[in-house]
Amino acid sequence: MITHRELFLKNVAQTSDFPLSLEIERAEGVYMYGKEGKAYMDLISGIGVSNVGHRHPKVTQAIHNQVDKYLHLMVYGEYIQTPQLLLAEALVKTLDKGCRKYPVLDNVYFTNSGTEAVEGAMKLAKRYTGRQEIISCVNAYHGATQGALSLSGSENFKRNYRPLLPEIKQIKHGNFEDIQLITFKTAAIFIEIIGGESGVRVPDSQYFIELGKQCDLTGTLLIIDEIQTGFGRTGTFWAFEQFGFYPDVLLCAKGMGGGMPIGAFIANQKVMAVFKNNPILGHITTFGGHPVSAAASLATLNVIYEEKLLDDVKRKAQIFRDLLVHEKIKEVRNQGLMMAVEFEDFDTLKPIIDRAIEKGVITDWFLFCDNSMRIAPPLIITDEEIRKACKVILSVIK
Ligand code: PMP
């Protein structure tokens, strides 16, 4: 009889020759359970998604409630759908903190994914500014479709898919001199607060303030990609809150859905209005902001506040930092529970990750940083679970 693994390799499209191939039957909290009930502690939240844990009861309840009312009704933007309204209102409330240029980020366009949020925001920037040039960062990851891939900071990933979008320029994340490359020709800069796939790179505390000044001066939209940092990962609801500035457009997805697919780009209503004419329907999606995903997302947002998950992020990250000390660990970089544990090289790290998985602890590396271990657990992880996970990691290093 053909096994599930054989079927997976035969009929499910593969993106590498070495998929993890774990078969999970059930997941709850920080744990996933494989065949014969083997427990795996999920230290990467698959990836950066299960911030409130797998199948949080308030999230699954919201999903059940919505499933009993309606699923898809109509393409985006036509019908009034309560889950979208309530989610948009709650998101805007998290952003109601004063602003550099505009009154506030008060207008949410819902998508199905992070990449689609990036794509929509690229179009928005071109229309709003009437400019073509877009800037992104070396070693940035913003998604895999052709527009988002054009922004990617890795030539290796782009090379065989050219021609991609023209007029894309790259600057170094966190580099003050490069800020001058943003000019009156630049429509937008797309930038993560913490470089995610580059291996958790935290910029100087003044960096985004200076970046914001240059964007103000040149009329460039400052588009902040919080797809990986959003919904509490770094210890504040949005990571930008820790850097003393305010974005023009904010992108989110991943952790936003509590395990359901949803993303968004958020701007001021005046900016977003460009989609309404010349032509009308300037940006269209069938499923974006699906009512079940929107209901799950609102429940996720509420759980983060009701369970005061943000309060413990920095303290929990410090437990990891205190415990993950070993001569083979070169450095630990983190912003809250977005962490990178650096080893000498990939050959040192790979067997450590593999052995940890065998022992039931799941970590990973980064797309553009293969000597560092990714740790991004659900924010609900307990102190005891952190100690247990670190014990396993240290034992397999040896
Ligand atoms: N931006 C960032 C910073 C991301 O980490 C990701 C996903 N890894 C994306 C965009 C793309 O999101 P998605 O996979 O949901 O399309």
Q: Which CATH topology does 64-306 take?
A: Aspartate Aminotransferase; domain 2 (3.40.640)
CB-CB contact of 219 with 100 (8 Å)? no
The pLDDT tens digits along the chain (398 residues) read: 999 999 999 999 999 999 999 999 999 999 999 988 999 999 999 999 999 999 999 999 999 999 999 999 999 999 999 999 999 999 999 998 655 555 689 999 999 999 999 999 999 999 999 999 999 999 999 999 999 999 999 999 999 999 999 999 999 999 999 999 999 999 999 999 999 999 999 999 999 999 999 999 999 999 999 999 999 999 999 999 999 999 999 999 999 999 999 999 999 999 999 999 999 999 999 999 999 999 999 999 999 999 999 999 999 999 999 999 999 999 999 999 999 999 999 999 999 999 999 999 999 999 999 999 999 999 999 999 999 999 999 999 98
Q: Residue 295 half-sphere exposure, CB side, CA atoms within 13 Å?
A: 19
| Residue 43 region by backbone torsions, left for phi larger than 0, else alpha for psi between -120 and 50, else beta | alpha
Q: Which of 112, 142, 229 to mutate to test the pocket of ligand 1 (most atoms within 8 A of CB)?
A: 142
Is the minimum distance from the CB of 119 to ligand 1 under 6 angstroms? Answer: no
Ligand 1 atom, smallest distance to 253 CA: 15
Ligand 1 atom, smallest distance to 226 CA: 3
Cα 326 to middle of ligand 1, angstroms: 31
Closest CA to 44 of 379, 369, 282: 379
Look at strands 364-366 and 369-375 and give their pairing.
Answer: antiparallel
Is the minimum distance from the CB of 126 to ligand 1 under 6 angstroms? Answer: no
Closest CA to 19 of 322, 357, 368, 312: 357
Q: Which residues are CB-contacts of 375 (< 8 A; sequence separation ≥ 6)?
A: 43, 44, 320, 337, 339, 340, 341, 363
**Looking at residue 101, what is its pLDDT?**
56
Task: Assign domain 4-55+308-396 to its CATH architecture.
Answer: Alpha-Beta Complex (3.90)
Q: Give the separation between CA 359 and CA 24, rounded to whole angstroms.
A: 15
Element (H, E) at 214: helix 207-218
CA 85 to chain centre: 22
Q: Which residues are CB-contacts of 386 (< 8 A; sequence separation ≥ 6)?
A: 316, 319, 320, 323, 377
Residue located nearest, by CA, to atom 5 of ligand 1: 228
CB-CB contact of 5 with 15 (8 Å)? no
Is the minimum distance from the CB of 114 to ligand 1 under 6 angstroms? Answer: yes
Where are the CATH 3.40.640.10 domain residues in the chain? 64-306
Is the minimum distance from the CB of 141 to ligand 1 under 6 angstroms? Answer: yes
Cα 357 to middle of ligand 1, angstroms: 24
Where are the CATH 3.90.1150.10 domain residues in the chain? 4-55+308-396
Cα 327 to middle of ligand 1, angstroms: 33
Q: Which residues are CB-contacts of 81 (< 8 A; sequence separation ≥ 6)?
A: 73, 289, 291, 294
**Looking at residue 398, what is its pLDDT?**
85
Identify residue 8 by its one-letter amino acid code. F
In 3-state terms, what secondary structure has residue 356? helix
Q: Give the separation between CA 121 and CA 35, rounded to whole angstroms.
A: 42
DSSP state for residue 376 in the 8-state scheme: -
Cα dihedral 338, 356, 360, 336, rounded to 10, equals -10
Is the minimum distance from the CB of 233 to ligand 1 under 6 angstroms? Answer: no
| Residue 84 region by backbone torsions, left for phi larger than 0, else alpha for psi between -120 and 50, else beta | alpha
